[in-house]
Amino acid sequence: MCGIVGLTGKDIRVKELVKALKKLEYRGYDSAGIAFQDKENVYVKKEKGRILNLENMLGDINEKIVESCIAHTRWATHGEPSELNAHPHTDCTGKIAVVHNGIIENYMEIKHALIEKGHRFSSETDTEVIAHLIEEYYYGDLQKAVSHAILDLSGAYAIAVIHNDHPGEIIAARKGSPLVLGKNDDKAILASDVTPALKYTREMIFLEDGDIAHLSENKIEIFSVNGTRINRQSTLINWDEESAEKGGFEHFMLKEIFDEPQSIRSALMGKISDEKVVFKELDSISENISKTKKINVIACGTSYHAGLIFKKFIEDYANTEVEIDVASEFRYKNNIIDTDSIVIAISQSGETTDTLEGVRKAKSKGAKIIAITNIVGSTISREADAVIYLNAGLEIGVAATKTYVTQLTILYLLGTYIAALKNVSKDKLNKIILNMMDMPTVIENILSYAPDVCLQLAKEFYKYKHFMYIGRGYSYPSALEGALKLKEISYIHASAYQAGELKHGPIALLDDEFPVFAIVPDDELKKKTLSNVIETKARNAKIVGICTEGDKEVSKIINSRIEVPKTIDALYPLIMSPFLQLFAYYVSILRKYDPDKPRNLAKSVTVE
Ligand code: M6R
């Protein structure tokens, strides 16, 4: 996720755009850049790090009056965070400048074709191809050139373009990434969300996929790709600036749960082709993966729970042994690892010290390391042999939500990829692939009713002091993750057990003051789990549960329940995640805590 902003009109100073860009810093901050046009030329300035670094570097330029300008704050996806990879990107002539939020999936093919035609590239980004494509199609009409260029792109984009020979004009286009437009009597603005535009207007136009916008002074015109004029209604935005940053949600955590369909979509992008999973990132070690007899996984916290689901998935689907360790244990134990070993390290931040030390230890023994992370340029991404990015977008809430569901998405795909390398039947894998392709829509539907259901249940349960989460098979890691979410943001003591373990001790804890959160999807272990639930009921424990839609057997036993759509056994953890997260979220709210900033916790644990 990156942020883009553009401004044109009367008396614009560069610092005005920098200020607008700062409103988008939450979308990414590994580098920032600006392109502005005075009456003669387009100039580009960029800097690694936060927008403040750019502002300091600009110095006196901040005061310069310009005709139009565009800017970008980056969250790296293709190419490490660096000044060179920072936006805006330009064409060979330096006359065209482009900022982009999104991912161009076919940029490599386009890049090769353009290089053949003589274009010279200076960055590793997918975005730079857009500038060169526009150059290729430019014959004096910038809007036409942009319209032509976007027809060649597949993937997602929101772009803004300025050209030396078009002072005061900005051309913008979108497909799959957000873009908002607004204007007042003197100026027109575009941005990735409404926050920078609120200073100018409360009437916003939300660009739609396929739209091309032409901004000049105080004018906004919208066209289709073939040049037909389109009328888009504006929407009145009543948010203050703080709630606008959170997309109108009360907390980042809630916003990030609602980001999940889009994050899963981004994680899937480019990974499925011809009904097969592709991981180009793994090309260099695919031989090692096909030969290996055992895979090791290391991770902490929520990432560890995602790893547990992966372990079961790989054992079920690829018939390959997986050993998983919490990284803080792995780094101090005698690991049976050698040059044939594959170690998968999962870390959202890519900076967790224990996971990094585990990686270093495994590497010193000759293992090949696959890192799964959300942060391009993170330490783990630099030290691993191969890196798979989550592309979930920046997560601000300390509690992992959208990054957990994207970890699961990537891990299911990786499991399917490994199973294919191990010659598992296509039919078995196709089922997973087809279901994964539907996941963004399934989660979108779930989010249309889950908040109400979870709020009602939270009202019933938020006063309890303890919780016991239980599940079997794929639902046991879900129980662990549900309990972690609840304890970290609501400070209720919550533990998780394999449902079959209850009678070996934990059931002694239960009474009418100690409720049970039972995870009982309609999978191959349902009957076993249900009989454990009945045992807890006999101890007077109140039960809240998750089951499959329309499951009468479960609904007879559990009154306070959440129902999820039917899916393949292995995929239940993914579709259950929003419910577990939302239940914890509402309990935290009802207990009057701030779920975005849980006490004693940090987003990234860079100490031992
Ligand atoms: O960045 P990482 O994935 O390495 O972080 C690991 C844990 O610290 C993290 O998952 C933590 O448990 C979550 N914030 C919990 O929501």
The tens digit of pLDDT for each residue in 275-290 reads 899 999 999 999 999 9
Q: How far is the CA of 279 from the centre of ligand 1 (A)?
A: 24
pLDDT at 607 over 70: no
Who contacts 302 (Cβ-Cβ below 8 Å, separation ≥6)? 348, 400, 403, 404, 407, 481, 484
pLDDT at residue 178, as a whole number: 82
Query: Does residue 487 come out as left (phi exceeding 0), alpha (psi in the -120 to 50 range) or beta?
Result: alpha
More confident call, 604 vs 501:
501
The candidate with the shortest Cα–Cα distance to 590, out of 494, 451, 399, 462, is 462
Evaluate whether 145 touches 139 at the Cβ level (below 8 Å). yes
Evaluate whether 519 touches 482 at the Cβ level (below 8 Å). yes
The candidate with the shortest Cα–Cα distance to 182, out of 161, 171, 197, is 197
Evaluate whether 327 touches 355 at the Cβ level (below 8 Å). yes
Closest atom, ligand 1, to C-alpha of 399? 16
From the list 15, 363, 431, 603, the catalytic residue is 603
Q: Which residue shows structure tokens 């040049």?
A: 227
Evaluate whether 44 touches 90 at the Cβ level (below 8 Å). yes
Average pLDDT, the chain: 93
Evaluate whether 21 touches 51 at the Cβ level (below 8 Å). yes
The candidate with the shortest Cα–Cα distance to 548, out of 582, 515, 571, is 571
Ordered structural domains, the chain, with CATH:
3-244 (3.60.20.10), 246-446 (3.40.50.10490), 449-595 (3.40.50.10490)
Distance CA 282, CA 271 (A): 12
Tell me the percentage of the chain whose pLDDT exceeds 90.
Answer: 81
Closest atom, ligand 1, to C-alpha of 605? 8
Q: How far is the CA of 303 from the centre of ligand 1 (A)?
A: 6
Tell me the percentage of the chain whose pLDDT exceeds 70.
Answer: 98
Token pair listed for 535: 């045992």
As a whole number of Å, the end-to-end CA separation of the chain is: 29
* Across 354-376, average pLDDT: 94
Distance CA 473, CA 500 (A): 10
Evaluate whether 27 touches 214 at the Cβ level (below 8 Å). no
* Across 362-389, average pLDDT: 92
pLDDT at 183 over 70: yes
Total-model pTM: 0.78
Distance CA 545, CA 580 (A): 10
pLDDT at residue 379, as a whole number: 85
Distance CA 250, CA 589 (A): 10
Confidence of residue 73 (pLDDT cuts 50, 70, 90): very high
Closest atom, ligand 1, to C-alpha of 400? 16
pLDDT at 303 over 80: yes
Angstrom CA distances, 311 to 187, 315, 325, 439, 594, stand at 55, 6, 11, 21, 34
3-state secondary structure of 512: coil
Clarify whether 300 is annotated catalytic. no
Distance CA 205, CA 195 (A): 13
pLDDT at 546 over 80: yes
pLDDT at 246 over 90: no
Token pair listed for 149: 């260029």
pLDDT at residue 342, as a whole number: 97
Confidence of residue 29 (pLDDT cuts 50, 70, 90): confident
Clarify whether 454 is annotated catalytic. no
Give me the numbers of helices (H) and strands (E) for the chain, helices first please. Answer: 19, 27
As a three-state string, the secondary structure of 567-579 is CCHHHHHHHHHHH
Strand order in the sheet with 466-471: 493-498, 466-471, 516-520, 543-548, 560-564
Q: How far is the CA of 477 from the centre of ligand 1 (A)?
A: 15
Evaluate whether 234 touches 228 at the Cβ level (below 8 Å). no
pLDDT at 45 over 80: yes
pLDDT at residue 191, as a whole number: 94
pLDDT at residue 449, as a whole number: 96
Q: How far is the CA of 380 from the centre of ligand 1 (A)?
A: 14
* Across 30-39, average pLDDT: 92
pLDDT at residue 94, as a whole number: 95
pLDDT at 597 over 90: no
From the list 2, 69, 454, 547, the catalytic residue is 2
pLDDT at 357 over 90: yes
Ligand 1 pocket test, candidate residues 352, 356, 486, most atoms within 8 A of CB = 352
Q: Give 285's strand partners.
A: none
Confidence of residue 375 (pLDDT cuts 50, 70, 90): confident
Evaluate whether 543 touches 557 at the Cβ level (below 8 Å). yes
Q: How far is the CA of 300 from the centre of ligand 1 (A)?
A: 6
3-state secondary structure of 152: coil
Distance CA 583, CA 575 (A): 14
What is the phi/psi pair of residue 92, to 5°? -65, -30
pLDDT at residue 456, as a whole number: 97
Report angle CA 504, 507, 512 to the nearest 5 degrees: 175
Distance CA 562, CA 549 (A): 8
pLDDT at residue 599, as a whole number: 84
* Side-chain-facing half-sphere of 429: CA atoms under 13 Å: 25
pLDDT at 26 over 90: no
Q: How far is the CA of 32 from the centre of ligand 1 (A)?
A: 27
pLDDT at residue 608, as a whole number: 64
Ligand 1 pocket test, candidate residues 304, 349, 372, 603, most atoms within 8 A of CB = 349
Highest mean pLDDT range out of 230-239, 392-401, 511-520?
A: 511-520
pLDDT at 567 over 70: yes
3-state secondary structure of 291: helix
More confident call, 257 vs 375:
257
State the CB neighbour count (10 A cutoff) for residue 244.
18
Evaluate whether 519 touches 498 at the Cβ level (below 8 Å). no
* Across 129-138, average pLDDT: 98
pLDDT at residue 59, as a whole number: 95
pLDDT at residue 241, as a whole number: 67
pLDDT at 410 over 90: yes
Evaluate whether 91 touches 131 at the Cβ level (below 8 Å). yes
Q: Give 488's strand partners.
A: none
State the CB neighbour count (10 A cutoff) for residue 151.
10
Angstrom CA distances, 476 to 196, 443, 479, 499, stand at 44, 21, 5, 8
Q: Of all protein residues, whose CA lies closest to atom 11 belonging to ligand 1? A: 301
pLDDT at residue 30, as a whole number: 84
Evaluate whether 466 touches 492 at the Cβ level (below 8 Å). yes
Who contacts 228 (Cβ-Cβ below 8 Å, separation ≥6)? none
Confidence of residue 96 (pLDDT cuts 50, 70, 90): very high
pLDDT at 536 over 70: yes
Q: Which alpha helices (DSSP H) does 269-317 contain, by range?
A: 286-291, 301-317
Which range, of 28-32, 127-131, 267-271, 426-430, averages the lowest pLDDT? 28-32
pLDDT at 80 over 90: no
Q: How far is the CA of 441 from the centre of ligand 1 (A)?
A: 26
Q: How far is the CA of 561 from the centre of ligand 1 (A)?
A: 28
Q: Of all protein residues, whose CA lies closest to atom 4 belonging to ligand 1? A: 347
pLDDT at 238 over 90: no
Token pair listed for 491: 């400070």
Q: Where does ligand 1 bind, in terms of residues with CB under 6 Å?
A: 300-303, 347-349, 352, 355, 398-400, 484, 488, 604-605
Token pair listed for 5: 């902003």
Closest atom, ligand 1, to C-alpha of 355? 4
14 CA to centre of own chain: 31
DSSP secondary structure string for all residues of 379-437: HHHHHSSEEEE-------SSS--HHHHHHHHHHHHHHHHHHHHTT--HHHHHHHHHHHH
pLDDT at 3 over 70: yes
Distance CA 394, CA 17 (A): 22
Q: How far is the CA of 71 from the centre of ligand 1 (A)?
A: 32
DSSP strand pairing (294-299 vs 276-277): unpaired
